[in-house]
């Protein structure tokens, strides 16, 4: 049963006599409920009713983490279900997952197997969630839940977070506020199909059932086998959405994101600067420019491989991971040496789960391709098909693509892992006829196995989850990846919205944000270099243009901005993010970052529409120490004109937070950044 999920209660006297919110903690099919269920089983005798009862529990405490396992058992059958809860006290986060053990005599099948089912009682519920599509990911949508089921889900198998994200914020008793009110936030740590169902019932209760999407995924368990669900990560805040975000960021950086406590380097990625059109000379000249700007890692993107079927366009070569002799006759080592001679490290792009029909790999291993079989047409997306990661041989191949590269070139410091299609050709030549329905799940588990092996073997290589930008933004992939490419849309105006949504759940340290050319390649919008830097500096800054596209003045600006980012990077990457003005509201956006010790902070403000003559951006900062006095200094300026009526003034934390300050931004696509440093002169 579920009695309370909300603010912690120390004195629970009286609670035991109250009627419960939900009768079951893990509702199962066949016990009388007509609502969403977490578990649906066909038992070994073909029956479908399941009644789970408390069997026993275990609890252990390890400093910050309390682990509880509640063992449940079906009343009649030898079906055991363990609910695992990992509570992180400082971060106010609970991770929940479930293991289902088949101790029945014969095989059973699972048609629903959620990670968690949590319930609340309030007068009304407002759901914030994130939707989009390629180049417009993580758009924020806020809506009141009405009776019935609202479900956030994907059935796409791969690039699962491109359209909807497996995360949410639920506000109880009113529209979500940034800094007040009860909010439950959560995200599923899984890079496969997901389903988060929000059911408001006739008693105005809300139940969230979250986990793998069981769509086309009946899962068979032989006697003695068990199934483990992915983790659902949940947090609670009674100080609004912003605290919920900070809780998730804190938890991710400490316990989930790979190397979440290490500063991220500034990269220059070759994609928008060169696309497929490069040779060694072009890359070296880009490296010269990158080094001059102060970039730390040069990343060679798509187009470096394939010989029989050279990768000169997106129509050939995927699968043939040998260096293209024509473009790069001296191989990668020559480029790596050159990068290092310039004081940078080298990174490389791969897309090892994928295959072009025009490739040597496709000729050699047609059976490794995910396919509908019976000679049905193979449906292409970006001219490519998907390798069948449910097959251990394919897992080895994918592992070897990266392992061979890193073994041969141990100086490769960064791997950008792309994935540019979904899983629509549903069918596996590896899985048995009966277990075809395991494909969606086994694919994701296969990917996890490969990434786990690489993580162990290459602990210090940086990995980026790219997936067309925004396609693998989930806590599951972040266990193995240091960062994600948030979107292929690099227009800074659009990025204000994309990063706004993304950082509701996922931390800025993991959010790769690149400065690209103007007019922007995706939207054709023109923006100043300063605006582009000011937006990208709110995440893990990178550059994605050919440095020779910048004139002398721009190059100087870029150099200074990069030097500046190196100085402020610990605040962005390790600090707390506060959302001050939403880009969705009034044509302004503002955020501030505060270092954990509250001695330094950053204020970033943006105007993206035209404003009335006297309308100014007015912001009240958050998270500072009210007892401290701070120096407020405008930084990253491209002219002498300040956007504030003072600079280097001393202002108390109380004034900055309670009274607020005017920022003089009125025109579209203008921005300003301020460094706020504790002053000892008070
Ligand atoms: C999609 C990615 O999101 C881009 O950054 C780039 O790597 C291309 N793929 C390369 O094909």
Q: Is 418 a catalytic residue?
A: yes
Surface-to-core class of residue 217, CB atoms within 10 Å of its CB (0-12 exposed, 13-18 middle, 19+ buried): buried
Judge whether residue 1 has pLDDT over 80.
Answer: no
Q: Is 488 a catalytic residue?
A: yes
Give the integer Cα–Cα distance in Å for 640 and 617. 19
Ligand 1 lined by 573 (C-beta under 6 Å): no
Give the Å distance between the CA of 391 and the centre of ligand 1: 26
Give the Å distance between the CA of 301 and the centre of ligand 1: 7
Instruction: Give the residue-averaged pLDDT of 223-241.
Output: 98
pLDDT of residue 613: 82
Instruction: Give the residue-averaged pLDDT of 252-260.
Output: 98
Q: What is the pLDDT of residues 380-426, one digit of tens each?
A: 999 999 999 999 999 999 999 999 999 999 999 999 999 999 999 99
What is the rounded (10 degree) CA torsion for 41, 163, 357, 380?
90
Query: C-alpha angle 647/653/656, rounded to 5°?
Result: 60
pLDDT of residue 682: 47
The domains of the chain are located at 15-256, 267-488, 578-678
Which atom number of ligand 1 is nearest to the Cα of residue 485?
3
Give the Å distance between the CA of 262 and the centre of ligand 1: 25
- Of the candidates 295, 287, 275, 253, the one whose C-alpha atom is nearest the C-alpha of residue 483 is 253
Q: What is the pLDDT of residues 561-610, one digit of tens each?
A: 999 999 999 999 999 999 999 999 999 999 999 999 999 999 999 999 99
Which atom number of ligand 1 is nearest to the Cα of residue 467?
3
Instruction: Give the residue-averaged pLDDT of 17-24.
Output: 84
CATH class (in words) of the domain with range 578-678:
mainly beta
User: By three-state DSSP, how is residue 239 classified?
Assistant: strand
Q: What is the pLDDT of residues 58-99, one digit of tens each?
A: 999 999 999 999 999 999 999 999 999 999 999 999 999 999
Q: What is the pLDDT of residues 472-514, one digit of tens each?
A: 999 999 999 999 999 999 999 999 999 999 999 999 999 999 9
Judge whether residue 19 has pLDDT over 90.
Answer: no
Give the integer Cα–Cα distance in Å for 446 and 392. 8
Strand partners, 663: 617
Plot region of 42 (φ>0 → left; ψ -120 to 50 → alpha; else → beta): beta
Give the integer Cα–Cα distance in Å for 682 and 670. 33
Mean of per-residue pLDDT scores for the chain: 96
Q: What is the pLDDT of residues 177-198, one digit of tens each?
A: 999 999 999 999 999 999 999 9
The structural architecture, per CATH, of the domain 267-488 is Alpha-Beta Barrel (3.20)
Ligand 1 lined by 272 (C-beta under 6 Å): no
Q: What is the pLDDT of residues 320-358, one digit of tens each?
A: 999 999 999 999 999 999 999 999 999 999 999 999 999
- The reply to whether CATH 1.10.3720.10 applies to domain 15-256 is no
Name which residue sits closest to atom 6 of ligand 1, judged by CA.
271
């Amino acid at each position: 049963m579920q009695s309370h999920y909300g603010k912690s209660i120390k004195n629970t006297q009286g609670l035991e006599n109250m009627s419960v919110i939900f009768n079951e903690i893990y509702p199962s099919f066949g016990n009388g409920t007509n609502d969403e269920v977490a578990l649906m089983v066909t038992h070994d005798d073909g029956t479908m009713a399941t009644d789970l009862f408390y069997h026993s529990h275990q609890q252990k405490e390890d400093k910050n983490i309390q682990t509880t396992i509640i063992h449940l058992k079906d009343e009649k059958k030898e079906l055991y279900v363990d609910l695992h809860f990992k509570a992180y006290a400082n971060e106010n986060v609970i991770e929940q997952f479930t293991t289902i053990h088949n101790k029945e005599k014969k095989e059973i099948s699972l048609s629903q197997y959620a990670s968690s089912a949590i319930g609340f009682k309030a007068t009304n519920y407002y759901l914030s969630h994130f939707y989009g599509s390629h180049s417009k990911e993580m758009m924020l949508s806020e809506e009141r839940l009405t009776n019935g089921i609202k479900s956030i889900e994907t059935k796409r198998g791969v690039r699962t977070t491109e359209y909807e994200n497996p995360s949410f914020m639920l506000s109880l008793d009113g529209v979500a506020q940034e800094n007040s009110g009860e909010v439950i936030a959560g995200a599923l740590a899984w890079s496969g199909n997901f389903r988060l169902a929000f059911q408001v019932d006739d008693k105005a209760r809300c139940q969230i059932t979250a986990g793998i999407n069981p769509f086309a995924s009946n899962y068979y368990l032989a006697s003695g086998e068990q199934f483990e669900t992915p983790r659902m990560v949940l947090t609670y805040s009674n100080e609004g959405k912003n605290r919920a975000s900070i809780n998730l960021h804190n938890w991710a950086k400490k316990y989930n994101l790979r190397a979440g406590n290490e500063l991220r380097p500034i990269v220059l990625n070759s994609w928008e600067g060169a696309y497929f059109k490069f040779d060694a000379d072009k890359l070296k000249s880009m490296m010269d420019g990158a080094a001059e700007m102060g970039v730390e890692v040069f990343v060679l993107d798509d187009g470096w491989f394939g010989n029989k079927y050279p990768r000169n366009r997106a129509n050939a070569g995927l699968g043939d991971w040998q260096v293209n002799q024509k473009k790069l006759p001296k191989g990668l080592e020559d480029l790596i040496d050159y990068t290092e001679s310039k004081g940078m490290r080298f990174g490389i792009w791969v897309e090892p789960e994928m295959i072009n029909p025009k490739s040597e790999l496709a000729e050699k291993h047609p059976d490794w391709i995910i396919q509908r079989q019976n000679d049905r047409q193979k449906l292409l997306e970006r001219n490519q098909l998907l390798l069948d990661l449910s097959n251990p041989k394919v897992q080895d191949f994918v592992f070897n693509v990266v392992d061979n590269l890193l073994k041969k070139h141990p100086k490769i410091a960064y791997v950008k892992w792309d994935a540019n299609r979904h899983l629509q050709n549903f069918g596996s030549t590896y899985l048995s006829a009966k277990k075809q329905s395991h494909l969606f799940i086994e694919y994701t588990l296969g990917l996890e196995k490969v990434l786990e092996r690489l993580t162990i073997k290459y602990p210090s290589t940086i990995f980026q989850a790219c997936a067309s930008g925004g396609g693998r933004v989930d806590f599951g992939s972040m266990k193995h990846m240091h960062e994600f490419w948030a979107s292929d849309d690099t227009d800074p105006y659009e990025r204000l919205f994309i990063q706004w949504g993304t950082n509701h759940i996922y931390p800025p340290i993991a959010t790769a944000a690149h400065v690209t050319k103007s007019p922007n390649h995706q939207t054709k919008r023109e923006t100043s270099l300063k605006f582009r830097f000011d937006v990208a500096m709110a995440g893990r800054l990178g550059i994605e243009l050919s440095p020779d596209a910048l004139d002398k003045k721009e190059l100087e600006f870029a150099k200074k901005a990069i030097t500046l980012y190196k100085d402020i990077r610990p605040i962005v990457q390790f600090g707390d993010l506060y959302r001050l003005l939403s880009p969705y509201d009034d044509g302004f956006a503002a955020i501030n970052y505060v270092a954990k010790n509250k001695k330094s902070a950053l204020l970033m403000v943006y105007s993206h529409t035209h404003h009335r003559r006297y309308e100014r951006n007015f912001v009240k900062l958050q998270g500072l120490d009210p007892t401290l006095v701070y120096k407020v200094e405008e930084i990253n300026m491209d002219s002498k004109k300040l956007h504030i009526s003072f600079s280097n003034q001393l202002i108390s934390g109380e004034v900055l937070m309670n009274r607020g300050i005017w920022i003089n931004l009125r025109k579209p696509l203008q921005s300003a950044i301020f460094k706020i440093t504790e002053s000892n002169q008070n």
